[in-house]
């Protein structure tokens, strides 16, 4: 990502586009330093483990589709929810489809742009 995302509404579509185009560095550029993600199996990943998890999704030709986002924002922090669908090829070659509602936290970082600090695709589940 070369230009900071200053319009919070553009963060979810930017994440979707980066994931679907298979651009790991773009996906990671949308994450705040120290970001954490709750995986679809309920564990959490951060740092190198988060990078590896995203790389695995890309290797599985992940295709993400986000529904409309709902945002509650303060000065430098925001709560972002959205419905999503993800299709991915598993290591055994099967194509799987999952859906859910994410509950994510974004924060404004030093460059003035918004990035995800917490990704929780399982929502309240």
Q: Which residue has the higher pLDDT, 12 or 125?
A: 12
CB 54 within 8 A of CB 25: no
Residue appearing with tokens 């509602």: 101
The pTM of this model reads: 0.92
In tens, the pLDDT along 5-38 reads: 999 999 999 999 999 999 999 999 999 999 999 9
Beta strands in the chain (DSSP E): 31-38, 44-46, 63-73, 77-89, 95-108, 114-119
pLDDT of residue 2: 63
In tens, the pLDDT along 80-124 reads: 999 999 999 988 999 999 999 999 999 999 999 999 999 999 988
Q: Which residues lie closer than 8 Å to 123 by C-beta, 6 or more apart?
A: 81, 100, 101, 102, 103
Classify domain 8-119 by CATH number: 3.10.450.50
Domain boundaries, the chain: 8-119
């Amino acid at each position: 990502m070369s230009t900071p995302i200053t319009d919070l509404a553009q963060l979810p579509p930017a994440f979707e586009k980066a994931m679907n185009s298979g651009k790991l560095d773009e996906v990671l550029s949308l994450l705040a330093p120290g970001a954490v993600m709750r995986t679809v199996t309920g564990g959490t990943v951060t740092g190198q483990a988060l990078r590896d998890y995203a790389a695995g999704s890309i290797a599985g030709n992940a295709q993400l589709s986000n529904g409309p986002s709902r945002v509650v924002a303060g000065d430098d922090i925001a709560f972002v929810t959205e419905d999503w669908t993800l299709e991915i090829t598993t290591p055994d070659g099967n194509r799987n489809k999952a859906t859910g509602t994410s509950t994510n936290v974004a924060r404004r970082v030093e460059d003035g742009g918004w990035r995800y600090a917490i990704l929780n695709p399982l929502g309240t589940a």
